Amino acid sequence: MRLMRPSWEGAAAVSDDAPSDADLWARGDEQAFGELYDRYAEAVWNHAYRLTASWSTAEDLTSATFLTAWRRRTEMTLVPDSALPWLFTVAGNLARSEFRRKARFSRLLLRVPRNDVQRDHADEVASSVDHETRLREVLQAVERLPRAEREAVELVLLGELTTAEAAEVLGVAEVSVRSRISRARTRLRKELPSDTLEVQ
Amino acid sequence: MTINLPPLRELPADVKERMRPAFTEASTRRSHTPLAVAAAVALLIAGGVAVTHQMTRDADPADGRVVSPSGLDVDRCRAALNDRSWSSSKMVVFGLHKVLVGDDGRFCGLTRSRAIVMSADARPLQMEAGSLVFRSENIIAGVPPLGARQARARELSPGNSSRGSTASVVTPEFFVTYAATGTNVTEMVFDDRTIPVAEGTAPALATKVDSFDSGDGNPWTPANLLARCVDNADRQGTPAEELQGWEPLISTSTTGDRGMSLAHLGHRKWATCTFSQFGADILATVDAGDPDKTVHFSGFHLGSEYTLVGRTNPLAKTIELYSGSTRAAVVDVADGFFIATVPVSTAGTRTGVPDLQVIARSAKNEIVYLGGLG
C-alpha cells in the first residue's frame, strides 16, 4: 500500500485508493468532513499547540479550525490535494485572534487558577513545562515578526510544511517564502536565547 | 538554525473525540463570526484555493447588538467600580439592562436605577472551555470558548427541570447572556457543547449600588423615583417594551417620606408607583375609566393622612378638595390627574377613605367640575 501523504508526521496515513482531500472537500457531507478530521486532527492539534503553547487552547483551536472548514466548504474549492496547509493557515488566523482575546482578558484570568488539560505522566511533567516555557518565548518572538515573515514561520518552522506547500497556500513564489524564512531566522536569532534554537 | 520545538504527540482517542466538531447542517445556517471571516479572507489570497463564487462578508451575529456606551454610562460604571481609569467601548443591551464590557475585561451592568459590578472578592471561573467572569441575577458574562457562536446559561434543578437565559450576545472576545428572571447557573451551553458549572464555583453575585440614568445621585427626585419603580416592574416581569419612555408627571415627596408618583407615556398612558424610605413599589399602569369622570382610583393612609390619586376633567389646572365645609387640599392637575394628601380626621370616612367634594378649575379659573369624588 502506497501512502499518499507520508510527509507530515501526525497526518494519518491514507491508502492509495482512498478519496483525495479535494474529493472529500467537494463532497462536503458530514461523512466526508469526518474523514478529513480523522486524517488531520492530530496534525492540526500538534500545530495548534505549537501556535499557542497550551494543550487546552490547542483543543479549542483544533475544533474551531475544522468547524471553520465545514462552514466554508461550499464557498471554495480545494485545488491542491492536501487540505493540511489550508487548515494550518486557518489555525494560524484563529490563534492570532485568541492571542488578542487573551491579552485583553489576561488581567482577570490571571486570577483564575489554571485548569489546562494535563495529560502528562508524572515523569513527563518537568519536560513538558520546560517545553512550554521555551515555546512561549518562541511564540512571543514570532508574534513580533512582520506579518509576512510570521506567516511563513508558522507554516514552515512551526508547522513543518515544505516551502513549496507554504508558498502555495500563501499565494507567493517559493523563493519568497525562503527569503521570508531567512529574514525571520535572522531576527529570531537576535531575540531568542541560544538554548531555544538548534543550529543546523 | 531551527526552532527547538516540542516533540509531536500522538493524539489520544478521547481527546480526538472531544475535539471533533459537530458537522451538521445547522452549523452552516448560522451566520459567521469574525474569526471565521478572518480565516476565510486569508484563504481568498491563498493560491491553493479557488473561490467558486463571490463571497460577501457574512453578518456577525453580534453585529448591531454591540454598541458604544455613552459617557454617562461609563461614568456610572466608574463610580460603581470606584475606578476612574476604567474604560469601555462596547456595550450590549437587553431591554432595560445594559452590560458594558470593560477594556480590562471587567463587566458592569446598568439598569435605570442601579449599577451592578463584580465584587472585589469575586473570582472568575475558568471552565474546561471558556470562563465565567460576571454573574448577576439576570446577567452571566465571560469569555467564550474559541469559535463559539451561541451561549446559554442554564439552571438545572433537582427535579430535572431547567430554566435559563433567554437572550445572548457572543463575540470572539466576550459573551453576555440575559435571563428575564433571576437564574443561577449550573451549566453553560456554547453551541452544542455543554459545560457543567459545579455548585459554588461560579463567581459571586455582583454587587448592586444606586446609580441613576438621570445622572443625578439623589434617589428622591421624581425622575429617579420613576427609574426605581420601572426597575422593580422589570424585575416582576413586566415586558421591557411596556416600561420604555415613561416620564415623571407628579410626585408627592422629594424627601424620602412615603409618597406616590404619577408618570405618563407621551401623555397617552399613565401609571402610578408608591414609595417609602424602604424602597419603591412597581410602576403600575392606570385604568382610570371614563376620562370625563372625576374619580379617585388609588391611595394610601399614612398616620392621620390619606394620599389619593384621582382624575378629573382634563381641562382642569387645579383642584380643591373639601371635607364638609373644610377645604382639605388644593393641588395642581396635570393631564387631568392629581395627587392630594388630606387629613382623615377632618371628615367621616367610607371604608377608611374620606368623603370629599371637589371643585376643579381651568387655567382661566373657570369651574370645570363641581361634585363628588367617585
ipTM of model: 0.75
Those of residues 140-169 in A touching chain B at CB distance below 8 A are: 157-158, 167-169
Query: Is A33's Cβ below 8 Å from some Cβ in B?
Result: yes
**Pick the residue with more confidence: A3 or A170?**
A170
Structural domains in chain A, CATH included, are: 1-112 (1.10.1740.10), 121-200 (1.10.10.10)
Q: Does A105 contact B32 at a Cβ distance shorter than 8 Å?
A: no
Say whether pLDDT at B352 is over 50: yes
Pick from A112, A134, A158: which is nearest to B131 by CB? Answer: A112
Instruction: Give me B129's grid cell.
Output: 472551555
What pLDDT score was predicted for residue A108?
A: 52
Pick from B6, B16, B105: which is nearest to A108 by CB? Answer: B105
**Pick the residue with more confidence: B54 or B91?**
B91
Structural domains in chain B, CATH included, are: 66-208 (no CATH), 217-372 (2.60.40.10)
Beta strand segments in B56-161, E = 66-67, 88-94, 97-102, 107-110, 114-117, 125-126, 131-135, 139-143, 151-156
Pick from B110, B130, B106, B131: which is nearest to B119 by CA?
Answer: B106
Q: pLDDT tens, B311-348?
A: 888 899 999 999 888 888 899 999 888 988 888 764 44
Say whether pLDDT at B55 is over 50: no
Pick from B268, B274, B230, B228: which is nearest to B250 by CA?
Answer: B274
Q: Does B35 contact A64 at a Cβ distance shorter than 8 Å?
A: yes
Query: Is A34's Cβ below 8 Å from some Cβ in B?
Result: yes
Query: Is A75's Cβ below 8 Å from some Cβ in B?
Result: yes
What pLDDT score was predicted for residue A46?
A: 92
Those of residues 10-39 in B touching chain A at CB distance below 8 A are: 10-12, 15-16, 18-21, 23-24, 27-28, 30, 32, 34-36, 38-39
Residues in A closer than 8 angstroms to B35, CB to CB, are 64, 68, 93-94, 97
**Pick the residue with more confidence: B24 or A25?**
A25
Q: pLDDT tens, A37-71?
A: 999 999 999 999 988 888 888 888 898 889 888 88
Most B CBs within 10 A among A33, A37, A50, A93, hence the mutation to make, goes to A93
Q: Is-contact A95 B42, C-beta < 8 A? A: no
Q: pLDDT tens, B272-293?
A: 888 877 777 778 777 766 777 7
Query: Is A57's Cβ below 8 Å from some Cβ in B?
Result: yes
What pLDDT score was predicted for residue A118?
A: 40
Q: pLDDT tens, A129-145?
A: 667 777 888 888 888 88
What pLDDT score was predicted for residue B247?
A: 92
Most B CBs within 10 A among A50, A55, A112, hence the mutation to make, goes to A112
What mean pLDDT comes out for the span B208-229? 90
